């Protein structure tokens, strides 16, 4: 039981429970799932090429410089040349570790070992366990926290330097943790623990009031990563350190079930909630579960766009005002990166179709859509301004936060396709892949052209030991019950939308289970609007292809994430009639591609609707405005 004391109207942890809350279902290791040819594998391969194209010594420039060592490479541009420098190094460590864990490609192991070796040298030069890329003023100020020097949040907002030092340090600490746990680096373990000890050293003397002042500034997932380290070591030192990053001003309303998100910076809050979820998992801190569940439901049901992303200009807003926020700065990609990480944890606690449905929606329509197909570049904002277009990063002169998280996104597509209990396998996503479940001896091959086709085929390449339940997701959006055929014969199972179609048997090598999900075009209204909506087919949002994006120097690549905010949009054709009737009247284009023809109102014209993730260099609209048919001019 958690004991709490009251401090300035908020609840602060007074004692710690240390038992873990074991998830109901578990994901597989990245190396257990091999992607087969699909847009997801292609995205992963493009990203891998980009990761290898980056110069490790350039990423390490400031880490060596501020440790008093001579840099071996020139500093990269964009955010890496500003006060937030070093965040990319942390993301890069995670991405390279995940790519190695997924593929066992030795090029990534070699890159990782070099990076960690260089960071260990810098850590020794810093002398007190610290390693990172903070400028001298910011680092000395943080070291001063050891003497309790935190008078206001200004101590964490350095206008000319690293204005979010804990945010940056979280990326570094998470990166070396992943090099340890995924990259199999014993040296990374040592670097991780020394850095975590440094975090403890400089925060241990802060009063509860000073801790809460510290947390008013964005601090990333510091609480989460420290809980992770506690889970790995069982050393209560890291448990206590994690609790110093418990931001009560955000957590208390969520615990009470209140939506106080409008007006708050969106991505700043999501890692805090993931931290609460990790506290529930590794230390049985019971409040973490309702905090995480309440936040997820609030964001997904009330604050998310059709593509699964959220926010405008990085901030949450009132749901009923959504029509006022269809701007060029919607849907920061980092937000969805973190929402998916939270979703996978919630599914582990309670395997619900709703969580898997959101995972699929966000994965197709935001994460896959965020990668530029020629150089593997990244979106920051996913513009939903009607008639606008996507803006991507440059290879070496951007390094936005969404470049860092984007590097990670495309290395872990296999993470949420399958989940398991000891005696059941959940098939959550219909992505071509091979699962190798070593503990049960199962090898399962999934072949599909989904969502272009509405079926998937699961073949048992190696039979599992003993009976096993196979649970296949039937999405809530399905237009009817799914149908299943085992070795060509129909099987009678409950397969209604929003459920898991479950088949338990002693599986044999060569068994083939075919699953067909009835799929049709539907419409989804914009929050708070009676006349604006999006077309959706199965898991994919259909956007109107409005022709090529403008030929200007910042398209498609831009150094600054806001470069095209003021670019004019093209006019979006008018629609007339009931949204459902408009959806029913769409005509699918013959052939294998997934595209539909939409006939607009006066003046009449045809617009092609395509999956949003396939529109890379075009102007588009996701949300359409319609008028009653009898009032159209």
- pLDDT per position as a tens digit, 143-167: 988 877 676 666 666 555 567 999 9
The secondary element (H helix, E strand) that includes residue 339 is helix 333-349
Q: Which pLDDT score is estimated for 154?
A: 65
How many whole angstroms separate alpha carbon 274 and alpha carbon 293? 10
CA-based end-to-end distance of the chain: 66
Find how far residue 239's CA is from the centre of its chain: 25
How many whole angstroms separate alpha carbon 312 and alpha carbon 309? 10
Q: Which pLDDT score is estimated for 152?
A: 66
- pLDDT per position as a tens digit, 481-496: 999 999 999 999 999 9
Q: Which pLDDT score is estimated for 23?
A: 78
Q: Find out whether 303 and 315 touch, Cβ atoms under 8 Å.
A: no
- pLDDT per position as a tens digit, 70-129: 999 999 999 999 888 899 999 999 999 999 999 999 999 999 999 999 999 999 999 999
How many whole angstroms separate alpha carbon 514 and alpha carbon 511? 10
How many whole angstroms separate alpha carbon 46 and alpha carbon 331? 23
How many whole angstroms separate alpha carbon 263 and alpha carbon 240? 31
DSSP state of 352: -
Average pLDDT, the chain: 93
For residue 523, list its beta bridge partners: 535
Q: Is pLDDT above 90 for 11? A: no
Q: Find out whether 336 and 308 touch, Cβ atoms under 8 Å.
A: yes
Q: Find out whether 91 and 97 touch, Cβ atoms under 8 Å.
A: no
Q: Please provide the DSSP assignment of 174-227 as one string.
A: HHHHHHHHTS--HHHHHHHHHHHHHHHHHHTT--HHHHHHHTTS--TTHHHHHH
478: CB partners within 8 A, 6+ apart: 497, 498, 517, 518, 519
E-assigned strands of 488-604? 489-491, 499-505, 512-516, 521-525, 532-537, 540-548, 575-576, 587-588, 596-599
How many whole angstroms separate alpha carbon 101 and alpha carbon 182? 6
Q: Find out whether 477 and 538 touch, Cβ atoms under 8 Å.
A: yes
For residue 534, list its beta bridge partners: 524, 623
Q: Could you give phi then psi for residue 187, rounded to 5 degrees? A: -65, -35
597: CB partners within 8 A, 6+ apart: 586, 587, 588, 589, 606, 607, 608, 609
452: CB partners within 8 A, 6+ apart: 592, 593, 594
For residue 599, list its beta bridge partners: 606
Determine how many CB atoms are found less than 10 A away from the CB of residue 68: 11
Q: Find out whether 375 and 320 touch, Cβ atoms under 8 Å.
A: no
Q: Which pLDDT score is estimated for 4?
A: 29
What pTM did the predictor assign? Answer: 0.95
How many whole angstroms separate alpha carbon 414 and alpha carbon 488? 28
How many whole angstroms separate alpha carbon 475 and alpha carbon 498? 5
**Mean pLDDT value across residues 14-28:** 72
Q: Find out whether 419 and 426 touch, Cβ atoms under 8 Å.
A: yes
276: CB partners within 8 A, 6+ apart: 223, 246, 251, 285, 287, 288, 291, 292
Task: Specify the length of the chain in residues.
Answer: 633
State whether the Cα torsion 347-351-352-353 is positive or negative.
positive
Q: Is pLDDT above 60 for 3? A: no
Q: Which pLDDT score is estimated for 230?
A: 98
How many whole angstroms separate alpha carbon 403 and alpha carbon 242? 27
**Mean pLDDT value across residues 329-334:** 98
- Asked, as a colleague might, if the bond just before 81 is cis with ω within 30 of 0, I would say no
Q: Which pLDDT score is estimated for 13?
A: 34
- Asked, as a colleague might, if the bond just before 451 is cis with ω within 30 of 0, I would say yes
Determine how many CB atoms are found less than 10 A away from the CB of residue 308: 28
- pLDDT per position as a tens digit, 534-584: 999 999 999 999 999 999 999 999 999 999 999 999 999 989 999 999 999
Q: Is pLDDT above 70 for 8? A: no
Higher pLDDT, 147 or 255: 255
Strands 521-525 and 532-537: antiparallel
- pLDDT per position as a tens digit, 258-277: 999 999 999 999 999 999 99
């Amino acid at each position: 039981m958690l004991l709490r004391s009251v401090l300035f109207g908020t609840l602060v942890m007074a004692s710690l429970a240390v038992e873990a809350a074991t998830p109901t279902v578990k994901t597989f290791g990245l190396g257990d799932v091999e992607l087969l040819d699909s847009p997801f594998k292609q995205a992963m391969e493009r990203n891998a090429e980009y990761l290898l194209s980056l110069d490790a010594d350039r990423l390490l420039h400031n880490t060596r410089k501020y440790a008093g060592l001579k840099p071996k490479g020139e500093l990269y541009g964009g955010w890496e040349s500003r006060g937030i420098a070093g965040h990319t190094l942390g993301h890069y460590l995670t991405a390279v570790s995940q790519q190695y864990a997924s593929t066992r490609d030795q090029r990534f192991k070699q890159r990782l070992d070099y990076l960690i070796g260089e960071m260990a040298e810098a850590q020794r030069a810093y002398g007190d366990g610290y390693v990172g890329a903070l400028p001298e003023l910011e680092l000395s100020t943080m070291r001063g926290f050891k003497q309790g020097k935190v008078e206001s949040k200004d101590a964490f907002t350095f206008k000319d330097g690293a204005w979010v030092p804990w945010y940056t340090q979280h990326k570094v600490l998470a990166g070396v943790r992943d090099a340890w746990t995924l990259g199999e680096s014993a040296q990374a373990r040592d670097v991780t623990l020394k850095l975590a000890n440094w975090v403890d050293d400089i925060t241990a003397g802060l009063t509860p009031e000073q801790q809460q002042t510290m947390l008013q500034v964005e601090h990333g997932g510091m609480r989460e990563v420290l809980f992770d380290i506690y889970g790995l070591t069982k050393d209560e030192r890291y448990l206590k350190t994690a609790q110093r990053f418990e931001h009560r001003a955000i957590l208390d309303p969520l615990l009470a079930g209140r939506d106080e998100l409008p007006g708050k910076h969106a991505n700043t809050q999501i890692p805090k909630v993931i931290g609460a979820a990790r506290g529930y998992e590794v230390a049985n801190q019971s409040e973490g579960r309702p905090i995480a569940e309440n936040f997820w439901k609030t964001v997904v049901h009330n604050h998310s766009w059709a593509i699964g992303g959220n926010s405008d200009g990085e901030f949450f807003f009132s749901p009923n005002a959504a029509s006022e926020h269809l701007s060029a700065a919607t849907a920061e990609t980092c937000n969805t990166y973190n929402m998916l990480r939270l979703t996978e944890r919630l599914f582990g606690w309670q395997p619900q179709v709703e969580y898997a449905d959101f995972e699929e929606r966000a994965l197709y329509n935001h994460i896959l859509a965020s990668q530029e197909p020629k150089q593997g570049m990244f979106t920051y904002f996913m513009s939903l301004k009607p008639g606008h277009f996507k803006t991507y990063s440059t290879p070496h002169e951007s390094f936005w936060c969404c470049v860092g998280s984007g590097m990670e996104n495309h290395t872990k597509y296999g993470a949420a396709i399958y989940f398991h209990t000891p005696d059941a396998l959940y098939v959550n996503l219909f992505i071509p892949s091979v699962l190798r479940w070593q503990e049960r001896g199962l090898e399962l091959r999934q072949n599909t052209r989904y969502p272009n086709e509405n079926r998937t085929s699961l073949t048992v390449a190696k039979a599992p030991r003993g009976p096993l339940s196979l649970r296949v997701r039937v999405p809530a959006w399905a237009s009817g019950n799914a149908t299943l055929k085992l070795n060509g014969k129909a099987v009678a199972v409950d397969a209604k939308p929003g459920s898991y179609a479950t088949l338990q048997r002693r599986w044999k090598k060569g068994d083939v289970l075919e699953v067909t999900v009835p799929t049709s075009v539907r419409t989804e209204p914009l929050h708070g609007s009676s006349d604006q909506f999006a077309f959706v087919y199965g898991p994919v949002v259909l956007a109107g292809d409005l022709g090529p994006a403008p030929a200007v120097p910042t398209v498609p690549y831009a150094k600054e994430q806001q470069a095209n905010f003021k670019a004019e949009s093209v006019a979006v054709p008018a629609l007339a009639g009931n949204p459902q009737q408009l959806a029913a009247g769409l005509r699918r284009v013959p052939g294998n591609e997934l595209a539909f023809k939409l006939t607009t109102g006066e003046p009449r014209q045809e617009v092609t609707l395509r999956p949003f993730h396939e529109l890379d260099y075009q102007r588009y609209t996701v949300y359409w405005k319609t008028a009653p048919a009898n009032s159209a001019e």
